[in-house]
Structure 1
């Protein structure tokens, strides 16, 4: 690995402790999730051995758990550790800009998966299922490749980043760290499925936020920092040593930072791709109750401010303030660019101010952020390989039991594969900065074509297939050509500069939209949105034909779990059941014979006639959905106005923060962390209080019966 540091002198924790923490945390989480799954199955009638539960959690996840899971999924290691490193590099503008655009992008999720996913294809399992219905086999395969590349590359880059951090902190060989990081996740994800990731996401969120709040306050109140006033004074005192090129007067305390804006834009293109092109986020949307999707995502969007803003500001500026003092681990040497790129700013600050125990806490935070991302990716890739490939093309008559078995196998295969990719990236000399620049180029080309799949009826099959490929080639060409033109060579160093990466990200994101419009206008065509309801009819046909042919859900338990589909009731009539707001009209009649049933499943253009297709939602349900759509649009506008216009835009001027303004700025950031804890940790417990109480009562009864049995002679 070419981008290494000398851990012999700077190891912050022993290798033995690092191995013990990684293995121990994996074992503990496996045990916790296995117990939780047994409780779910025994007392809550939730069996992860069924495909519907494994892939979309029976579509019954409530608002609180949705918010916690989405928050956890956005709590990437790049967002937590890199926020401090980039604040160190560019100043305090970076952490807020980092999250301002992010909330906007989360609102895009509300608008696409929340609205169109629930209204147009309410019972889809993956976004790729929607693509297959509209564009056929070739389009389906193209987007399978795009989604797999995005998932595999995004997940592998997270593991690579984590292994480099563990290597830098402890000296553990990065290959060993790369293997151990996903090991425990593979075990509990393979057993528990999507609901397991929701449950572990909640645990990740709770533990990580406690650590984030603790680190922020403990560092700030440390005697070497001296609180808000002391940190401000130290940053001002060391200003001549910490001149930042591109910032107003080179200050760390200004919002006018060209580097921060450009770097954040690059990161946001990549993060948007990780959301829109990651089937895990679509699955979480499909898995939620109708009324939980929009509020759940909005709560997570607002709460996510608490991670980079407060933590990144305090840790990044503190590193600048104390890096030339004897307590800093690198003293008297400087903090090198390699160490910053590897994300070592945070562990160095924690070691300097809080000691070895804080490094153990950092390991916990690192593990929480990594495993949350990896588990979601594993379920996403598993669903693609098992549902979109195996079931669709290799074994259309697969039984539910077989499909779950294949899903388990693909989780293991994906775990092994991403481990290999991560090791290759490490040996190739990649770091989190370079990965952050490459990710938008390979992930962004499919964003606009996929969004247009749900929003624009005139995107043709040719446009959807060709535009992502052309967009990727355009972005790659811009990246390499700009690096060659500006710096005279093409290598990791030149392509790690911000301008080639920015131009390439813009090209990869926007040109597919241009290509799609041009190709669609070349041979106009208008898609009938009712075609998407054939996914629903196919599921219904298979359900009714279960006694005649092998179908996806052949067991009586699955029929019971889907029985809500045949009940024509209102939203309020079934307030607590799975998909309580999702009901069918009783006059929706699927084809009855075996041949027609099979054709309906396998062909997007099969019978029945579109004029006979009725929407599976009743009028009241649709009214409820459109109400949530209005709420999502209002939230979208509000977030844009706040995070772009009202808040940061006026600060982008020739202005350096005063002590009072800086104190208020950081205080609000810390308060936001506590608000986030209430929203995504406390509220989910309240929202799920009935299920928790049911499980607790079941455990108490079982324990009491067991003890009574033991006491009998």
Structure 2
């Protein structure tokens, strides 16, 4: 295979150990989630056999679990493994730019999520919103954009994971690629979105413990010598670690052209991965009204410290020891392929912590991979089942059939994504090249999608055409710039900073220009109340007049158990239905299809003035208040992490020993704060549900044991 790692000199762990851990962890996590799903159904009245629970977790997820789930979904391999490699390549400026490139998109998504609750309160996916406004063609265009974004993002993570597993154990790429998503398919298909929330929490807890351990263990190792020792070793080896585009070639300066360009490319790509990923929208739909903004912003602040602390310590340590006998590649040097494939971190861990460290790294790798894959599977499953199957293939599908289709599409996506990952492996791609390509593919739909919720004058033509033109604009800029600067086009020449940056900028901004021009060409103003008309029609399908109890066809027990979400729950819009449609059974058609048709006709006959928002005035005021808070938070995050903090450091300055010590110390403190925010706080926030579940399990256990004793 071209452009791969020479595994003959590696073998950090044996193939048997790698197979055992990969299969064993999949089985354990699958078992834990299946047990949790059973407890939820038995004692918390949360049945993943209902579509509303499977797709949006009954819209009752609290702040703590939301923060943990969003943090976990955004803690990709890139934030740990690749950040260390890029710090090795460009110096300590990369981890901070990386952290700033993660948190602002989550803060933006908090605002988008609240606006979606205001505009389209019953939505299951972001694509529903597009269909409501732009019709079939616009819906299909954004389905393709979302699927490509999800598939590409998920496949690139599996590809990266398989390359790392191959690199540390010599396990075959194909075997690793097949085994990585296997367990995730099983528990996601059974548990749905709430299962991914629960596994996200477990992933987050384990991964953060390992991240903190690796950071401190590496830093305090005798071969490093703490903060002062690391600084001294980096300074002592400065001549051998000269970085051409850094100030004085130093690793310890923030003035690095390569780092800032990489940071900009990362920001565009990561923004696309959030806004164009239906998984993040689904998590916002699944939250309580009071939980969206706090949960997302807790995650935004917490995730900042992960690449900053871990990437700085691991990347600089690699530079300090990569030419010493303890390093796995010695007496050879790290190749560009090994750096691009993320092997810097496992090499450092093997050198300083040994085999137990590599086992821990394997656990961290598994946590990051499966968290990403599970959220992607639910997102793609919702698109295939709800936006394609229910909308175009079987509009009269029942709730039970829809859940069955969702299970099937999880499996189909798992198989498909495995094939794409294998193809990327054999094509010679690596995570760096994928990071450059992803913005070009995913960015064109960002601004048209945001306009869908915030700009009433974007027309159907503009929404359909502008993403397509934006993609071809970005692709043309990428290839043309590569050809102009390097003479020919291949994976090597396209893995360069400047063409990728110019292409990302073109892909992101050009659709906004196209959209505005096309919208002004033939102006039209959309009435936001139209969203609620289609909402009512959708409600009529889920909840026909003969059954007006709940959205999810739930029992009274389920309704009573969700009292914690009353302030954000959707209240029936009974005042918009004609008087003739009261609950007199003689006036309700006996045939369900006739009932649905009658409900749809009533909704279609309503004037916009007669349509009322399903949220009461108090809830709407609260949502608008949270929307203001979300925008203030977003602007604050951007100003601090893009301007006030990093730009004053972009000057002719090399960190002093004391400044470097303070820099890394704050980064490590941030890691502990993240652990408190997304691991400890969710336990406190969900203490009531945990107590109810624990009491239920204990009662069932006592009952079971009592029966056993009498026999």
After TM superposition, the score normalised by the length of structure 1 is 0.95
Deviation, 1:544, is 4.8
Could you tell me how far 1:600 is from its partner in structure 2? 7.1
Q: Over residues 196-223 of structure 1, what are the superposed CA-to-partner deviations in whole Å (9 max), with x where a residue is unaligned?
A: 0000000000000000000000000000
Cα distance in 1 for residues equivalent to 2:442 and 2:601 = 29
Residue 667 of structure 2 is matched in structure 1 by: 669
Residue pair 1:59, 1:579 contacting (<8 A) in 2 also: no
Whole-Å separation in 1 of the counterparts to 2:95 and 2:434: 19
Aligned to 1:649: 647
Note the C-alpha offset of 1:98. 0.7
Question: Is the Cα–Cα contact under 8 Å of residues 290 and 568 in structure 2 kept in the other structure?
Answer: no
Contact 1:290 1:582 in 2 (8 A): no
The 2-side partners of 1:562 and 1:492 are apart by 55
Partner-residue secondary structure (3-state), 1:470: helix
Map of 1:567 onto structure 2: none
Deviations 1:423-458 (A, max 9, x none): 000000000000000000011110010000001000
The separation in 2 between residues aligned to 1:562 and 1:538, in whole angstroms, is 22
Kept in 1: contact 2:207–2:364 (CA 8 A): yes
Q: CA deviation at 1:588?
A: 3.6
Give the superposition deviation at 1:286. 0.1
- What's the counterpart of residue 575 of structure 2? 587
Q: Aligned partners of 1:109, 1:599: CA distance in 2, in Å?
A: 38
Deviation at 1:580, TM superposition (A): 4.0
- How far does residue 577 in structure 1 lie from its aligned partner after superposition? 3.7
Q: d(CA) in 1 for partners of 2:572 and 2:484?
A: 60
Give the drift of 1:89: 0.3
Of the candidates 566, 576, 582, which is equivalent to residue 564 of structure 2? Answer: 576
Per the alignment, do residues 136 and 595 of structure 1 end up closer, same or farther by CA in structure 2, a change over 3 Å counting? farther
CA apart distance, 1:631:
1.4
> 8 Å contact 1:543–1:553 — kept in the other structure?
no
Q: Counterparts of 1:552 and 1:412 in 2: how far apart (Å)?
A: 33
1:658 matched residue in structure 2: 656
**Structure 1's 645 and 660: CA in aligned 2 closer, same or farther, altered over 3 A?**
same
For 1:296 and 1:673, the matched residues in 2 are separated by: 18
State the partner residue of 2:111: 111
Q: Report the 3-state secondary structure (helix = DSSP H, G, I; strand = E; otherwise coil) of the residue aligned with 1:606.
A: helix
Per-residue deviation, residues 302-322 of structure 1 (Å, max 9, x unmatched): 000121000000000000000
Computed over aligned residues only, the root mean square deviation of the Cα atoms, in angstroms, reads: 2.0
> Residue 557 of structure 1: SS of its match in structure 2?
coil
| Paired residues for 1:485-496 under 5 Å | 485-496=484-495
Mapped to 2, the partners of 1:538 and 1:9 lie a distance apart of 63
Tell me, yes or no, if the aligned pair for 2:118 and 2:623 is still in contact at 8 Å.
yes
Give the aligned partner of residue 585 of structure 2. Answer: none
Which position in structure 1 is the counterpart of 2:386? 387
1:273 corresponds to which residue? Answer: 272
Encode CA deviations 1:514-572: one digit per residue, 9 max, x unaligned. Answer: 10011101100000000111243123323552649xx99998537875799xxxxxxxx
1:351 matched residue in structure 2: 350
- In the other structure, the counterpart of 1:144 is 143
Alignment of 1:58-137 (within 5 A): 58-113=58-113, 115-137=114-136
2:684 to 683, 686, 699: 686
Instruction: Measure the CA separation in 2 of the matches of 1:654 and 1:554.
Output: 61
CA distance in 1, matches of 2:608, 2:570: 21
Q: How does 1:420-569 map to 2 (within 5 A)?
A: 420-545=419-544, 547=546, 556-557=553-554
* 8 A Cα contact 2:118 2:620, kept in partner: yes
Shift of 1:108: 1.2
Structure 2 distance, partners of 1:528, 1:405, is 36
User: Unaligned stretches of 5+ in structure 1?
Assistant: 565-573
Tell me the residue number matched to 2:364.
365
Per the alignment, do residues 430 and 183 of structure 1 end up closer, same or farther by CA in structure 2, a change over 3 Å counting? Answer: same
Is the CA contact (8 Å cut-off) linking 1:59 and 1:578 kept in structure 2?
no
SS at structure 2 position matched to 1:616: coil
2:174 aligned with 1:186 = no
Describe the shift of the 1:601–1:442 C-alpha distance in structure 2 as closer, same or farther (beyond 3 A): farther
Q: Distance in 2 between matches of 1:698 and 1:552?
A: 26
Per the TM alignment, residue 655 of structure 1 is displaced from its structure 2 partner at its CA by 0.5
Between 354-363 and 100-109, report the one with greater CA deviation. Answer: 100-109
2:545·2:595 contact (CA, 8 Å) conserved in 1? no
Instruction: Render the CA deviation track for 1:355-393: whole Å, top value 9, x for unaligned.
Output: 000000000000000000000000000000000000011
Is 1:377 aligned to residue 376 of structure 2?
Answer: yes
Quote the Cα distance in structure 2 between the aligned partners of 1:375 and 1:178. Answer: 15
Asked whether the 8 Å contact 2:218–2:224 carries over to 1, the reply is yes
Deviation, structure 1 residue 609: 1.5
TM-score normalised by the chain length of structure 2: 0.96
Structure 2, unmatched stretches of 5+, are 582-587
Are residues 146 and 277 of structure 1, via their aligned partners in 2, closer, same or farther at CA, if it must alter by over 3 Å?
Answer: same
Q: Please give the alpha-carbon distance, in whole angstroms, between the structure 2 residues aligned to 1:344 and 1:329.
A: 11
Measured in 1, the distance between the counterparts of 2:651 and 2:696 equals 61
Q: CA deviation at 1:482?
A: 0.7
- What is the alpha-carbon distance in structure 2 between the residues aligned to residue 552 and residue 14 of structure 1? 57
Counterpart contact for 1:400–1:552, Cα < 8 Å: no
Q: 2:709 aligns with which of 702, 708, 711?
A: 711
- The separation in 2 between residues aligned to 1:558 and 1:138, in whole angstroms, is 38
What is the match of residue 24 of structure 1? 24
1:38 aligns with 2:35: no
CA distance in structure 1 between the aligned counterparts of 2:464 and 2:341, rounded to whole angstroms: 37
2:101/2:266 contact within 8 Å kept: no
Contact 1:329 1:348 (8 Å CA) reproduced = yes
What residue is the counterpart of 1:283 in the other structure?
A: 282
SS of corresponding position for 1:223: coil
Distance of aligned partners of 1:578 and 1:618 in 2 relative to their CA distance in 1, 3 Å threshold: closer
Alpha-carbon distance between aligned partners in 1 of 2:565 and 2:469, rounded to the nearest angstrom: 45
Residue in structure 1 matched with residue 606 of structure 2 by the alignment: 608
1:596 shift after superposition: 8.6
| Residues 208 and 481 of structure 1: CA distance in aligned 2, closer, same or farther (over 3 Å) | same
Q: What is the aligned partner in structure 2 of residue 570 from structure 1?
A: none
- Deviation readout 1:616-657 (Å, 9 max, x if unpaired): 111111111111112112212221222122211110111100
1:202 aligns with 2:190: no
Distance 1:559 1:540, change over 3 A: farther
The alpha-carbon distance between structure 1 residues 236 and 458, as it changes in their structure 2 partners (threshold 3 A), is same
- The 1:561/1:136 distance shift into structure 2, 3 A limit, reads farther
Whether contact under 8 Å (1:386, 1:403) holds in the other structure is: yes
Residues 309, 667 of structure 2: 8 Å contact kept: yes
Could you tell me how far apart the structure 2 residues matched to 1:541 and 1:416 are? 35
**Secondary structure of the residue that 2:333 maps to in structure 1?**
coil
